[in-house]
Amino acid sequence: MSYAVTRYDFRDKPRDYARLRDELASLLAGERDLIANAANTAALIFAALPDVNWAGFYFLKHDELVVGPFQGKPACVRIALGRGVCGTAAAQRRTLLVPDVHRFPGHIACDAASRSEIVVPLIAGGTLLGVLDIDSPRPARFDEADVRGLESLAELLLLSVRESCGRADRA
Ligand code: SME
């Protein structure tokens, strides 16, 4: 199978996220494996979004976040709940938009090029599974339209694996 990823300009973010959601739906159709679908979701996001230097997942395992499928430079493996942007978004169970990572207390710098970041928690049936984390080398790269667009992609990933939904350490 060959897959041609469209690189949208995202000047109309709602429109382009809707197109990306359709692409992701086709990519995940018929597959329920969490790791496989998370890997393709990270690859699609990394290839399609401009100005992104890291895109991927951390999954909750035994009460800490452990790195999952991603695209970008090698990253820190374990993050405690409540630590860094990822651990804070997971602990607070809400999407965090960080326009300047240098001003976020406790930010964990995996790639020194990262300047802004967005982290979306993955919650299925009230259970926290992990987070989707995206970094950009551009300050204030993400806005509310990215929050809505990326939350919708994360929701699609969770729907695709719903039959096997549960904590990643039980999958
Ligand atoms: N910056 C994140 C750590 C993960 S990397 O960006 C891939 C944080 O502060 O939690």
Choose one of 46, 85, 88, 134 to mutate for the ligand 1 pocket test, by most ligand atoms within 8 angstroms of C-beta.
Answer: 85
pTM: 0.93
Residue 6 is predicted with a pLDDT of 80
Query: Please, what is the average pLDDT of the chain?
Result: 93
Our mutation pick for probing the ligand 1 site, out of 135, 136, 141, 142, counting the most ligand atoms within 8 A of Cβ, is 135
Per-residue pLDDT, 52: 97
Tens of pLDDT, residue by residue over 69-128, are 999 999 999 999 999 999 999 999 999 999 999 999 999 998 999 999 999 999 999 999
Kindly report the number of other CB atoms within 10 A of residue 94's CB atom: 13
Quote the longest CA-to-CA distance of the chain.
Answer: 44
Q: What is the mean pLDDT of residues 52-57?
A: 98
The alpha carbon of 75 is separated from its chain's Cα centroid by a whole number of angstroms, namely 14
